[in-house]
Amino acid sequence: MNQQPGTSGLIFNEPLLWDKSRDGRCAMSLPKSDVERAPLDANLTGDAPKLPQLSELDVVRHYTRLSQWNFGVDSGMYPLGSCTMKYNPKTNEVQAARKGFADAHPLAGDEFSQGSLKLMYNLEQYLAQITGFNAVTLQPAAGAHGELAGMLMIHAFHAKNGKQRSKILIPDTAHGTNPASAALCGYDSINIKSGKNGILEPSAVAAIMDEDTAGIMVTNPNTLGLFEANIKEIAEIVHSKGGLVYGDGANMNAIMGIVKPGDIGIDVLHLNLHKTFSTPHGGGGPGSGPVAVGKTLEPFLPIPRIVKELDSYKLVTDFPDTMGRIHTFYGHFGIMVRAYAYILSMGAKGLTDASKLAVLNANYVKESLKGTLNLPYDLPCMHECVFNDEFQKEYHITTMDMAKRLLDYGFHPPTVYFPLVVDGAFMVEPTETESKEDIDQFIDAVKAIAREAKEDPEKLRKAPLLTKVTRLDEVAAARKPCLRG
Ligand SMILES: *Cc1c(COP(=O)(O)O)cnc(C)c1O
């Protein structure tokens, strides 16, 4: 086996800054003041805050050590399915940090924000082109927020047509945020079972689509990493009853430059700039979930919209059918700069190649681990593949045991127990940015763990063994959180 990236050496213990504090220790030496001491205002006296007293080196080591306890794409492969944890070129960070962008103020007014508005306008145009839609709003702050915006547009569309509907169809392979977004708009979500091959059957949709159903939300590629090949036929069924099709485009990393969702019957789609278009994520944000719409829903886009007149750009609120506002100002601008830099530096061919490589890498993982882990849907996959722990059941080893053990081998675990349609799911998304050598190391690690399941299951059940803390009591962590540190 190749050497693994994981090691337990030279990972330091680190106490709190308060514990390291020594009275009188200081990070700088100031010359003795030649100004006479003056008493403080009475309101400001009292006990001085007990801040830690440390040297510069104490502080540098403290934060450097803490940073090394962390794991990110910059430290190793992060195969978290459904998240597209790919490497983000550092140039995109440099562009977003440029003074003109970083210091732009949303209250500066259109006249003083022409560069930023132009960037946002062009980004909307590029995203419209990539997805095959008419118009885009960049405002939503995340994928789920984009879903909410899309649902509110569908809601506004039915209201405008004079009759509100009460239901939304949601397949069992949809992301969990889909039913939540539908519920926030007051819709009841109706679950549809996927067919045996993991994708939706048109007949299942036809059987329940009616004139009280506002539409369907389809994640495509779906959360099994499979392309919903019947989407066009399904869209026709939904449209024939006056419904609309919401596309969850969080998995666009598999199909950029290959499939345009606007061409296959979808009416409204969100993207996750922080997944597909190169913004670092994990740790909760900020994100950006632009929404693209076709002709039917364009009048309902949130305001303000960016309008180009001759060579100038302005934010316009005068759209009578708009669903209203979804964000203060115009969303998370820094993320837009990163996405814009990414799209420009990749070009159309680069984006298409990225998707092809993402799909190739996932299929490579799928084929290499087939036989080691059970593969409930053995079909060519898109950008991720879903295994489970069926083969390890005889040794009483679970997906969680294997995921924990991967930490010892130096890998962030894949997504576990999602999607819900696969019992004990182990979902791997290698992304296009991993090299064959790194993917091979990951595959070797999973194979070694599968051997351990057979030969030393006791050890696996205690994993991780080499990390700073070993197996945590996750139930206690969820039920009795210690929020004081
Ligand atoms: C990540 C994801 C979402 C939600 O996106 P957030 O930006 O986390 O809100 C929705 N659908 C799918 C398929 C996803 O993978």
Condensed to tens digits (0 to 9), the pLDDT of residues 270-290 reads 999 999 998 888 766 689 999
Look at residue 2 in the predicted model and tell me its pLDDT: 57
Q: What DSSP string describes 210-276? A: -TTEEEEEEESS-TTS---TTHHHHHHHHHHTT-EEEEE-TTGGGTTTT--GGGTT-SEEE--TTTT
Look at residue 485 in the predicted model and tell me its pLDDT: 58
Name which residue leads in pLDDT, 347 or 4. Answer: 347
Residue 373 C-alpha to ligand 1 middle, in angstroms?
A: 26
Residue percentage of the chain with pLDDT more than 90: 85
250 C-beta closer than 6 A to ligand 1:
yes
Determine which of 68-77, 124-133, 328-337, 343-352 has the lowest per-residue pLDDT on average.
68-77
Q: Is residue 61 part of a domain?
A: no
Q: Give this prediction's pTM.
A: 0.92
Q: Rounded mean pLDDT of the chain?
A: 94
For a pocket test of ligand 1, which of 86, 139, 177 has the largest count of ligand atoms closer than 8 A to its C-beta?
A: 177
Q: Is residue 82 part of a domain?
A: no
User: Contacts from 434-438 at CB under 8 Å and sequence distance 24+?
Assistant: 434/77, 434/79, 434/361, 436/364, 437/2, 438/76, 438/77
Tell which atom from ligand 1 comes closest to the C-alpha of 84. 15
Residue 182 C-alpha to ligand 1 middle, in angstroms?
A: 14
Residues 341 and 364 in one domain: no
Look at residue 37 in the predicted model and tell me its pLDDT: 86
For a pocket test of ligand 1, which of 80, 82, 384, 420 has the largest count of ligand atoms closer than 8 A to its C-beta?
A: 82
290 C-beta closer than 6 A to ligand 1:
no
Mean of pLDDT values over 439-467: 96
Residues 168 and 311 in one domain: yes
Q: Is residue 338 part of a domain?
A: yes
Give me the torsion for CA of 126, 130, 131, 133, rounded to 10°. 50
Number of separate domains in the chain: 2
Measured by CA distance, the residue closest to atom 8 of ligand 1 is 143
Q: Is residue 389 part of a domain?
A: yes
> Domain residues for 370?
353-479
Does position 44 have pLDDT exceeding 80, yes or no? no
Does position 88 have pLDDT exceeding 90, yes or no? yes
- In 109-176, alpha helices (H): 114-131, 143-160
Residues 289 and 372 in one domain: no
441 C-beta closer than 6 A to ligand 1:
no
Does position 46 have pLDDT exceeding 80, yes or no? no
Query: 326 with 152: CB under 8 angstroms?
Result: yes
Among candidate residues 310, 345, 380, the one where a domain is terminated: 345
438 C-beta closer than 6 A to ligand 1:
no
Residues 227 and 99 in one domain: yes
How many other CB atoms sit within 10 Å of the CB of residue 379? 14
Look at residue 300 in the predicted model and tell me its pLDDT: 98
Residue 222 C-alpha to ligand 1 middle, in angstroms?
A: 11
Residues 399 and 451 in one domain: yes
Look at residue 128 in the predicted model and tell me its pLDDT: 98
- Element at 140 (helix H, strand E): none
Residues 425 and 326 in one domain: no
Residue 466 C-alpha to ligand 1 middle, in angstroms?
A: 32
Phi and psi based region of residue 106 (left: phi greater than 0; alpha: psi -120 to 50; beta: remaining): alpha
Q: Is residue 232 part of a domain?
A: yes
144 C-beta closer than 6 A to ligand 1:
yes
Q: Is residue 79 part of a domain?
A: no
Residue 143 C-alpha to ligand 1 middle, in angstroms?
A: 5
Residues 339 and 404 in one domain: no
Residue 263 CB contacts under 8 Å (≥ 6 apart), including other chains: 132
Does position 36 have pLDDT exceeding 60, yes or no? yes
Residue 18 CB contacts under 8 Å (≥ 6 apart), including other chains: 50, 52
221 C-beta closer than 6 A to ligand 1:
no
143 C-beta closer than 6 A to ligand 1:
yes
Residues 330 and 469 in one domain: no
251 C-beta closer than 6 A to ligand 1:
yes
For a pocket test of ligand 1, which of 170, 175, 383, 421 has the largest count of ligand atoms closer than 8 A to its C-beta?
A: 175
Q: Which two tokens stand for residue 386?
A: 């879903």
Q: Is residue 54 part of a domain?
A: no
State the residue for tokens 């053990």. 405
Euclidean distance between CA atoms 102 and 457, whole angstroms = 52
CATH of the domain at 253: 3.40.640.10
Does position 117 have pLDDT exceeding 70, yes or no? yes
Residues 315 and 409 in one domain: no
Q: Is residue 25 part of a domain?
A: no
Taken as a whole, the chain contains a residue count of 485
Query: 226 with 379: CB under 8 angstroms?
Result: yes
Query: 155 with 135: CB under 8 angstroms?
Result: no
pLDDT (tens digit, 9 = 90+) per residue, 371-409?
999 999 999 999 999 999 999 999 999 999 999 999 999
Residue 274 C-alpha to ligand 1 middle, in angstroms?
A: 10
Within 13 A of 236's CA, how many CA atoms are on the CB side? 6
Phi and psi based region of residue 221 (left: phi greater than 0; alpha: psi -120 to 50; beta: remaining): beta
427 C-beta closer than 6 A to ligand 1:
no
Mean of pLDDT values over 153-167: 97
Mean of pLDDT values over 154-171: 97
Among candidate residues 309, 325, 345, the one where a domain is terminated: 345
Measured by CA distance, the residue closest to atom 3 of ligand 1 is 143
Mean of pLDDT values over 131-154: 97
Phi, psi at 425, each rounded to 5° = -60, 145
Among candidate residues 345, 363, 392, the one where a domain is terminated: 345
Residue 415 C-alpha to ligand 1 middle, in angstroms?
A: 13
Measured by CA distance, the residue closest to atom 7 of ligand 1 is 143
Residues 381 and 232 in one domain: no
Look at residue 284 in the predicted model and tell me its pLDDT: 67
Residues 269 and 339 in one domain: yes
Query: 317 with 139: CB under 8 angstroms?
Result: no
Residues 171 and 315 in one domain: yes
Look at residue 259 in the predicted model and tell me its pLDDT: 97
pLDDT (tens digit, 9 = 90+) per residue, 305-351?
999 999 999 999 999 999 999 999 999 999 999 999 999 999 999 99
CATH of the domain at 373: 3.90.1150.10
Phi, psi at 110, each rounded to 5° = -60, -40
288 C-beta closer than 6 A to ligand 1:
no
219 C-beta closer than 6 A to ligand 1:
yes
- Element at 382 (helix H, strand E): none
Euclidean distance between CA atoms 224 and 221, whole angstroms = 8
Tell which atom from ligand 1 comes closest to the C-alpha of 177. 10
Phi, psi at 30, each rounded to 5° = -100, 145
